[in-house]
Amino acid sequence: MLELLLCSLLTILPDYLYRRYAQGKRIGKEITLYSVWFELRWGIISCLMLTVGLITVIFYNHPATNNATVLFRSIPVLPESNGRVAEVFVGFSADVKQGEPIFRLDSSRQEAAAETARRRIAEADAALLVARADLLGADGRLREARGAYQQAVDELETKREIYRRNPGAVAVRDIERLEVAVEGRQGSIDAATASKQEAEARISALLPAEKASAEAALAQAQVDLDKTVIRAGVTGRLEQFTLRVGDIVNPLMRPGGVLIPKEAGRGNLQAGFSQVEAQVMRVGMVAEAACISKPWMIIPLVVTGVQDFIAAGQFKGGDQLIDLQSVSQPGTILVTLEPLYEGGLDGVMPGSSCIANAYSSNHEQLMSKDIGALRRAALHVVDGVALVHAMLLRIQAIILPIRTLVFGGH
């Protein structure tokens, strides 16, 4: 309507003034309700063409959208495993800090596993004491075997010396018996040595490994026990927390509630612009927005990000071919807008619906001396019509609360 009124001032009004004062035609006489089209046809046609052209120039070079929202991230409150709620620390809605407990699951199984691991550690310590005692016994048996071996060797050497000096004084059978006894004593030494090495291996390797395994099992059991207490991962606001003692929580099917981070939705605004404006949207463009949660306020913004992909074109591989007719919506270009000044989004609730305008600027081209006069004039016109779009946004901001409260039936 504003563009039509503006264009009528340049077309219909001059046409009427010409016919009224230059040609002397009068309203109600030559210019009547039935003869308006014939008398003012040139002005009406020019007005409609100029209006369409102006609207095209405005909305292409200075994109606008009603699909602007202050998006925020929400975190489902979930345990890592199934369990029955044993204790609840917060209410339906509450402010929580990072690390603060929210609820606790039944931990009898985890406590039993931790106690079992502690018993295994104590068992490993006791086995270590027994192994040290066995080492002392093996060491004593080794010294005893060495003493018996040395005694047998000395007796054998004595018998051999006597036999060497007087072969008839010692029987050959006695010497052979002593040689067998020496070999037996050597076997006892080997057995005692092996027993001692076994005890040393148990003390130095086996029992420490068993104790380390038990300690690892205790650490795992303690981790599982700690996981039964579900804590806030970030500082924020807990909403719709309906869990009560006795409820069953399933991480795949039933979350306990929603945790909204403290700074979620406070720093930027996301808007979806039409695909036809893909060649115009640039990072650094100045923008404005009006949000329904902060009525009658224009928020200056700047474009900080333009998504390179349109979400409507995505697909997931499966067992069926993609039919493009299923993509009914053409999709929009996701643009991230941040306040031009600090605190620009203060008072705008996260999730609030907004309308936004982005304004292209040709200042750098206009400052260049390499463009012609016609192009310079056209760029001046393009930048100048941004004022019309800014006026439209302000009119929308004024009537938005009225339309919502009065005509919306709220």
Q: 113 and 55: one domain?
A: no
Nearest to 356 by CA among 243, 409, 277, 259: 277
Residue type, 253: M
Q: 304 and 192: one domain?
A: no
Looking at the structure of the chain, the number of domains it has is 4
Q: 98 and 236: one domain?
A: yes
CATH number reported for the structural domain that contains residue 288 in this entry: 2.40.30.170
Q: 274 and 384: one domain?
A: yes
Q: 192 and 307: one domain?
A: no
Cα separation, 106 vs 141, whole angstroms: 54
Q: 211 and 168: one domain?
A: yes
Q: 81 and 188: one domain?
A: no
Task: Determine, yes or no, domain membership for 322.
Answer: no
Local mean pLDDT, 10-residue blocks, the chain (410 residues): 67 74 75 70 78 77 88 85 85 87 87 87 84 78 75 72 68 70 75 77 79 86 86 87 83 79 82 87 89 89 89 77 73 89 85 89 76 78 80 86 73
| Domain limits for position 171 | 108-224
Predicted pLDDT of residue 328: 65
The residues with which 303 forms a beta bridge, in sequence order, are 337
Q: Which two tokens stand for residue 405?
A: 């409260």
- For the chain, give the secondary structure using H, E and C: CHHHHHHHHHCHHHHHHHHHHHCCCCECCCECCCCHHHHCHHHHHHHHHHHHHHHHHHHHHCCEEEEEECCCCCEECCCCCCEEEEEECCCCCEEECCCCEEEEECCHHHHHHHHHHHHHHHHHHHHHHHHHHHHHHHHHHHHHHHHHHHHHHHHHHHHHHHHHHCCCCCCHHHHHHHHHHHHHHHHHHHHHHHHHHHHHHHHHHHHHHHHHHHHHHHHHHHHHHHHCEEECCCCEEEECCCCCCCCEEECCCECCCEEEECCCCCCCEEEEECHHHCCCCCCCCEEEEEECCCCCCCEEEEEEEECCCCHHHCCCCCCCCCCHHHCCCCCCEEEEEEECCCCCCCCCCCCCEEEEEEECCCHHHHHCCCCCHHHHHHHHHHHHCHHHHHHHHHHHHHHHHHHHHHHCCC
Q: 238 and 93: one domain?
A: yes
Task: Determine, yes or no, domain membership for 319.
Answer: no
Q: 257 and 275: one domain?
A: no
Task: Determine, yes or no, domain membership for 49.
Answer: yes
CB 365 within 8 A of CB 83: no
Predicted pLDDT of residue 356: 92
Residue type, 35: S
Q: 88 and 207: one domain?
A: no
Nearest to 57 by CA among 366, 391, 282, 385: 385
Q: 269 and 387: one domain?
A: yes
CB 292 within 8 A of CB 393: no
Q: 193 and 236: one domain?
A: no
